[in-house]
Homo-oligomer: A and B are copies of this chain.
Amino acid sequence: MTTPTLTHLDEQGQAQMVDVGGKAATRRRAVAEAFVIAQPETIAAITGGTLKKGDALAVARIAGIMAAKKTSELIPLCHPIALTKVTVEIEPVRDTGTLHVVATAETVGQTGVEMEALTAASVAALTLYDMAKAIDRAMAVTDLRLVEKSGGKSGDYVRAP
């Protein structure tokens, strides 16, 4: 087995922000997801139950959208990207103590937006944790991962089910 090499390290193993200047600017899209696992009462407190709906989900969605715009400040070797669209959806998964976070990012540019979608999903999930941690410290974020991507030379990707 030959160990593959990381594109973000040069031949001496030094980190670099790789050259995308010669790549075509194409329409690119990525979808990422994460799951927040919590006690059923915590899920109810976040989603507002059947009666009144507070800001909790809105706060998490907005945190995710704003975090997507900060991706290149957080991930050292990410290129700055002019995002053309970001959405974050949060839905309880029926009959489980789980919230499903789905983040979508799009751009027209020279590099993909996987990291922007993943960053949005993770910060939205952590924001839910922050708001509920006083009642449920054992909450966890799990299966933070890319769901699909399109655009760019490396081709489309859809996670195997």
Contacts and interface: CB of A to CB of B under 8 A. Distances in A.
Contacts of A67: 74
Contacts of A74: 63, 66-67, 70, 74, 123, 126
18 contacts: A6-B131, A6-B132, A14-B89, A15-B62, A16-B85, A17-B83, A21-B85, A55-B58, A65-B77, A70-B73, A75-B123, A75-B130, A119-B126, A122-B126, A125-B144, A126-B144, A141-B141, A141-B145
Given A13-B48, A21-B84, A139-B145, 14 more contacts: A13-B54, A13-B55, A14-B89, A15-B59, A17-B86, A53-B53, A55-B62, A58-B59, A59-B76, A62-B63, A77-B130, A79-B84, A80-B83, A140-B145
